[in-house]
Amino acid sequence: MRTAVLGAVFVVVGVVAAVAGVLTGPELVALIERVAPVLGFVVGLTIVAELAAEAGLFAWLATASARLARGRVVVLWLLVVALAVVCTVFLSLDTTAVLLTPVVVIVARHVGLPPMPFALTTVWLANCASMLLPVSNLTNLLALHELGSPAPVAFAALVAPAAVVGVVVPVVAIGVRYRRQLVGRFEPPEAQPADDRVLFAVAAVATGLLVPALISGVEVWIPAAAAALVLVLATAIRRPRVLRLGLVPWGTLLFAGGLFAVVETAHSLGLADLLGAVVGQGESLPDLLRLAGGSAVAANVANNLPAYLALEPVAGSPLRLVAVLVGVNIGCLVTPWASLATLLWHSRLSSMGVEVSWGRFMLAGLGIAVVAVPLAVVATVLVV
């Protein structure tokens, strides 16, 4: 609700800017042409993820992981790591934070394990593992446009070194911090059949086909919309009570759409010149570290999406744009509001009675960010 209200305020500011002539007609048209496919993808993927969860797909994956671990806690955790990475890379960070988190917490509780190592795994990997593909993060989709819309494989090749660092550092941190809780054994859960096997099968097939479609080079909103349509039709037939207007992420759409307009207005008033003086120019290692560090600070002060939008015009090259993505994706681990995924993650945990100490969370996130961000920049410079 707060996101929707804030988004509505942003939209009003954008309208006022357009009426006042700060945003011209051609600028608005260009903004809409850029934003519409991105928001269309967000709607399609959100519907797919929600309906797949309703069909029991995520619960089945988590239970299957617990059974595959054969009673070994560390193996279960590593399987959750793999599941969180795959879910984030192909289905976006919000899917991991919102839909996978409660499932792995339930599984951990069911087998008598502390939920926090598994919950931190999902939220940190939701953010840090979201570097690899355009669909992994909304910031990546925006960067794709700035890079000239390369194929997903080409985009992945550019950001792969940073993406590897973004996965390894938080995993090592959790493994060291919770090394005592991650040893031992548990009783594997019994396999639970899906409530509706037909709907489960449709969800599994639609999601499975969506994954390669998202890296095929087709505009990502098209396969997302197609998969969403298939799941909506199947759900309407098998479980119509599940369908509701709330499946569409209205708050996120308002927030993102309004934010685009506000930042575009700020750029028209000279924001890029101001930020350029702060984060500097050039592609040397110190220059890139400065840019990534500034991007991380901006993400934690405001939010990673406005931070990216504000800093995109001062990037100026693919290498500098990767540094911005490193800062806003991997560096947004300190403040709760730095990433919408973190706020949604916390909301899900609170509803399940899992307490999070924000002080400890921020301190741990700061430790990971100050290690991962410079390492990701160094890896990019050495490999790319």
Residue 80 belongs to domain spanning: 24-383
Predicted confidence at residue 228, as pLDDT, reads: 94
Residue 240: is it exposed, middle or buried by C-beta count within 10 angstroms (0-12/13-18/19+)?
A: exposed
In a domain, 271, yes or no: yes
Q: CA-CA distance, 319 to 315, in Å (whole number)? A: 8
- Rounded Cα–Cα distance for residues 306 and 318 (Å): 19
Report percent pLDDT > 90 for the chain.
43
Closest CA to 159 of 131, 136, 119: 131
Is the confidence at residue 250, as pLDDT, over 60?
yes
Q: Stretch 142-156: mean pLDDT, rounded?
A: 89
Q: How many CB atoms lie within 10 A of CB 233?
A: 11
State the DSSP H helix or E strand holding residue 210, giving kind and residue range, or none if neither. Answer: helix 197-214
Contact present, 185 and 77 (Cβ < 8 Å): no
Report yes or no on 266 lying in a domain.
Answer: yes
10 located within any domain: no
Per-residue pLDDT, 320: 95
At CA 172, angle to CA 170 and CA 174, rounded to 5? 70
220 in helix, strand or coil? coil
Rounded Cα distance between 327 and 159, Å, is: 13
Helices (H) and strands (E) in the chain, counts: 18, 0
* Mean pLDDT, residues 67-93 taken together: 92
Q: Quote the percentage of the chain above a pLDDT of 70.
A: 98
Measured CA to CA, the distance from residue 360 to residue 116 in angstroms comes to: 12
Q: What is the pLDDT of residue 2?
A: 64
Q: Supply the pLDDT for residue 223.
A: 92
Q: Look up residue 154 and give its two tokens.
A: 């080409």
> Across all residues in the chain, what is the average pLDDT?
88
Q: Is 2 domain-assigned? A: no
For residue 381, name the pLDDT band (cuts at 50, 70, 90): very high
Establish if 115 belongs to a structural domain: yes
Q: How many separate domains does the chain show? A: 1
| pLDDT at 192 > cutoff 80 | no
In a domain, 310, yes or no: yes
Does the pLDDT at position 377 exceed 70? yes
Question: Residue 272: pLDDT band by 50, 70, 90 thresholds?
Answer: low
**pLDDT digit string (tens) for 288-327?**
999 999 999 989 988 888 889 888 888 889 999 999 999 9
pLDDT > 90? residue 163: yes
| 15 occurs within a structural domain | no
- Predicted local confidence at residue 1, as pLDDT: 55
Q: Under DSSP, is residue 185 helix (H, G, I), strand (E, B) or coil?
A: strand
How far is 215 from 201, CA to CA, in rounded Å? 22
Per-residue pLDDT reduced to its tens digit, 12-48: 877 787 777 777 777 777 777 878 888 888 888 889 9
Q: What is the pTM of this model?
A: 0.85
Q: How many CA atoms lie within 13 A of 258 on its CB side?
A: 18
Burial zone of 371 (CB within 10 Å; 0-12 exposed, 13-18 middle, 19+ buried): middle
DSSP state letter for 282: -
State whether residue 112 is helix, strand or coil: coil
Lowest pLDDT segment from 50-54, 161-165, 365-369: 50-54
Please report whether residue 31 resides in a domain. yes
Rounded distance between C-alpha atoms, residue 88 and residue 211, angstroms: 11
Helix (H) or strand (E) run with residue 266 in it: helix 250-268
Cβ atoms 300, 327 nearer than 8 A? no
The arithmetic mean of pLDDT across residues 255-281, rounded, is 75
Answer whether 141's CB lies under 8 Å from 38's CB: yes
Count other Cβ atoms within 10 Å, centred on residue 144.
20
